[in-house]
Chain A
Amino acid sequence: MKRFIPWLLTFIAGAAMIIDYFVPHRVFGSITAELKQWGLIVVAFSYILGVANVVRIQGNKISRRDPDWLNSIVLVVSLFTMAGLGIFHKHQGEGTPFIWLFDTMYDPLSATMFALLAFFITSAAYRAFRARSTQAVLLLTAAILVMLGQVPVGAAIWGPDQLLGGFPGIKDWIMDVPNLAGKRAILMGAALGAISTGLRVILGLERAHLGGN
């Protein structure tokens, strides 16, 4: 029973969503819309679990004086400061402490994390493009051609009005033919895999998430 009821709920919700795709009737649509609304409400409530988890784990670190416990204090203080300003400050919008903290602290930090990507792309490309095998040579050649086709200097060396459309023409061919074909093959396989996984869960063949195999 402990597994049957969760499976039954999964089956009903999963089947309803599949049927919803084929049945446009507004009565059925309102039932599935209601189910989705319940999902959103449950997700919203789960944030309480998230906050409890953060407080418990960081609180334990602080009380045990674990390594980097000072970072945990910063985290908990930041969490409650932002939550407090968001909940208790009457006016929201430009110039309020909540927005000021968000704009001047969170946003730059977030942008910094994102900017790291530029350096990581360089280091990953350096490793990936080392021509140590036939596949790596192919990858390197394709990458050079696509890069030259993408930048103005490529078109200046071998322009689109010359043989084979120049570097831009070759870049377009690589992107539109072999690259797109590979991408579509992956997407097709992934779509079937996703449907298959969904079916396994709905039919109860896969029960790992219900507490057992």
Chain B
Amino acid sequence: MRSIAWSSLLVLWASAAAALPAVQNPVAFDTPNDGGHSITVAWNKEDVSPEAMVVVERVAKNGEAVEVGRVLALEGTFVDGPSAEGAEGPPDAQPFTYRLTTISAIDSLQAPSTPAVTAVSTAHAQIFNTDRVNVLLLLSVFFAFVLYNVQRANRGEKFHVRKLAPVVAIEEAIGRATEMGRPVLYVPGIEEIDDIQTIASMLILGKIAEQTARYDVPLRVPVRSPFVLAVADEVVRSGCMQAGRPDAYQPDRIQFISSEQFAYCAGVNGIILRERPAANLYLGKFYAESLIFAETGFAAGSIQIAGTAEVTQLPFFIAACDYTLIGEEYFAAGAYLTQDPALVSTLTAADWAKIMLVTLLILGAVLQSAGMPEFSQWFIVR
């Protein structure tokens, strides 16, 4: 019995005595493309034990060391920078070395390694994120297309835009509402004003308000966000002014329902069923409520025109509405309704960009198939 106890003690002592090997090739460098206060520490992760953990210490010029984190040795890197937990990272423009000590993640008795020390490194903030040079380049080309075409429009050149059946149908729907003496319902989606689809919806609403004011058709705009309410109110008011009918602006018709999704949904359904609008226009960003609106409107016998760039909701609108503006058509509707050459010219620019992207896609597919992945990899956004 005594011999077993002694041998156990010997095993424990042996494991404690055999220190873990230190990490190999430790390096520290300024974290690239960041806002500063960050140094990345890396080491060779190929020859480390799976249960080894690295204790990372930041050592200042005066020798003061601070533990900044622990990470599994297999990960191979550690970023000493600002974190959600409140860490501020190393101050910019000050030299630091990093001391990396390997310990066992499962055996607290095992002796730690001798520390591996990196060379001196300094954190700096970068002015430009070089990982995003591809986005900048493509965006610049698109900007150039837009500016060039706007210039062409200003010179008086004409642009051809294919007929958008749903937009033509909007005018017919307003005509139908005039004949029936019933209102037009405009639902601008359920997102906040910072969403580009809501902004596009407000731009279309201005034109719709102008037309409904001209034909003296009541326009009902229930909104989900109070901020959208303020913008919609102003847009409808100015639409009525543009039509030369300021008296057509009725602030009570632009109504905040609720910021809760299904409460808003119930409110809009109530309007559809009580007021039986002649036309329902669903233009904006929608989620689960899209089909509930569209089916209720169908049951109420309204002509329904929808438009969204939300791919998951498009099938519902296509199935339940008379016309649907799909993706880019939705964003083009505002420009199409005005027929303003400067606005229409941006649609031509978007078409040019599409041709460019399709060409790049084909080229990328060909080069990738030919075993040259570098071209397509350049487009990866980090």
Q: Which residues of A contact B (CB under 8 A)?
A: 21-27, 29, 39, 42-43, 46-51, 53-54, 56-57, 60, 67-68, 106, 109-110, 113-114, 116-117, 120-121, 123-125, 127-128, 183, 186-190, 192-201, 203, 205-206, 208-209, 211-213
> Is B334 within 8 A of A208, CB to CB?
yes
24 A-B pairs within 8 Å (CB atoms) are namely A21-B132, A22-B136, A43-B192, A50-B229, A67-B274, A109-B266, A114-B262, A120-B291, A120-B294, A189-B328, A193-B328, A193-B329, A197-B196, A197-B203, A201-B199, A205-B150, A208-B203, A208-B205, A208-B239, A209-B203, A209-B231, A211-B237, A211-B241, A212-B238
Give the docked Cα–Cα distance between A71 and B311 (Å).
36
Inter-chain contacts of B329 with A (CB < 8 A): 193
* B219 in contact (CB, < 8 A): no
The count of chain B contact residues (Cβ–Cβ below 8 Å) is 86
A26 to B92, CA, bound (A): 11
A200 touches B335 (CB 8 A): yes
Task: Give chain B residues whose Cβ lies under 8 Å from the Cβ of A114.
Answer: 262, 288
Whether the pair B226, A53 counts as a contact (CB closer than 8 A) is yes
Q: Which 5 A-B pairs have the closest CB atoms?
A: A193-B331, A50-B226, A208-B206, A26-B35, A189-B328
Q: A49-B226, A190-B328 are in contact. Are A39 and B194 (CB under 8 A)?
A: yes
Residues of A within 8 A of B327 (CB): 186-187, 189-190, 193
Query: Is B99 among interface residues, defined by CB-CB distance under 8 A?
Result: no
Task: Kindly list chain A residues whose C-beta atoms are within 8 Å of the C-beta of B372.
Answer: none
User: Is B114 in contact with chain A by the CB < 8 A criterion?
Assistant: no
**With A26-B125, A53-B255, A208-B238 as given contacts, are A213 and B230 in contact (CB-CB < 8 Å)?**
no
Interfacial chain A residues near B255, Cβ < 8 Å: 53-54, 57
Residues of A within 8 A of B328 (CB): 186, 189-190, 192-193
Q: Are A26 and B354 interface neighbours, CB within 8 A?
A: no
B226 touches A113 (CB 8 A): no
Whether the Cβ atoms of B37 and A26 lie closer than 8 Å is: yes
B340 at the interface (CB under 8 A from A): yes
Q: Which one of A22, A128, A201 has the greatest number of beta carbons of chain B within 10 Å? A: A22
Check if B292 is an interface residue, CB within 8 A of chain A.
yes
Residue in B129, B194, B327 with the greatest tally of chain A CB atoms within 10 Å = B327
Given A53-B229, A213-B242, is A199 in contact with B292 using a C-beta cutoff of 8 Å? Answer: no
Question: B139 near A42 (CB under 8 angstroms)?
Answer: no
A110 touches which one: B142, B256, B260 (CB < 8 A)? B260
Complex alpha-carbon distance, A199 and B146, angstroms: 8
A206 to B135, CA, bound (A): 24
B238 touches A53 (CB 8 A): no
A83 to B216, CA, bound (A): 38
Cα–Cα, bound, A29→B335 (Å):
33
A213:B128 contact, CB within 8 angstroms: no
Instruction: Identify the closest chain A residue to B291 (Cβ).
Output: A120
Residue of B with least CB distance to A194: B196
Residue-wise interface mask of B (247-271) relative to A, using a CB-CB cutoff of 8 A (1 in contact, 0 not): 0000010111001111101100000
- Kindly state the separation between the CA atoms of A205 and B331 in the bound complex, as whole angstroms: 14
| Also in contact, A25 and B126, with CB within 8 A (given A57-B255, A200-B343) | yes
- CA–CA, A6 to B239, complex, Å? 17
Contact with A along B144-184 (1 / 0, CB 8 A): 00100010000000000000000000000000000000000
Contacting residue for A60 out of B206, B252, B316, CB 8 A: B252
Min CB distance B382 to A, Å, is: 12
Given known contacts A39-B194, A49-B230, A114-B288, A23 and B129 CB-to-CB distance under 8 angstroms: yes
In addition to A39-B194, A128-B319, A186-B311, 20 A-B residue pairs with Cβ atoms within 8 Å of each other are A21-B129, A24-B125, A26-B35, A43-B226, A46-B226, A50-B226, A53-B256, A54-B255, A114-B288, A117-B292, A186-B326, A190-B328, A193-B309, A195-B139, A197-B200, A197-B203, A200-B335, A200-B343, A208-B207, A209-B203
CB distance from A22 to the nearest CB of B (A): 6
List chain A residues, Cβ under 8 A from B230.
Answer: 46, 49
The minimal Cβ–Cβ distance linking A5 to chain B, given in whole angstroms, is 15
Contacts of B202 in A (CB 8 A): 208-209
Chain B 303-328 per-residue mask, 1 if CB under 8 angstroms from chain A, else 0: 00000010100101011100000111
Most chain-A Cβ atoms within 10 A of its Cβ — which of B35, B331, B343? B331
* A200–B346 CB distance below 8 A: yes
Known: A26-B125, A53-B229. A110 touches B263 (CB 8 A): yes
Q: How far is the CA of A192 from the CA of B207 in the complex (A)?
A: 22
Which chain A residues lie closer than 8 Å to B346 at the CB level?
Answer: 196, 199-200, 205
A128 CA / B338 CA spacing, docked (Å): 33
Q: How far is the CA of A113 from the CA of B128 in the complex (A)?
A: 48
Among residues of A, the one whose C-beta sits closest to the C-beta of B293 is: A120
Q: State whether A199 touches B143 (Cβ < 8 A).
A: yes
Which B218-245 residues sit within 8 Å CB-CB of chain A? Answer: 225-227, 229-231, 234-235, 237-239, 241-242
Q: How far is the CA of A213 from the CA of B255 in the complex (A)?
A: 24
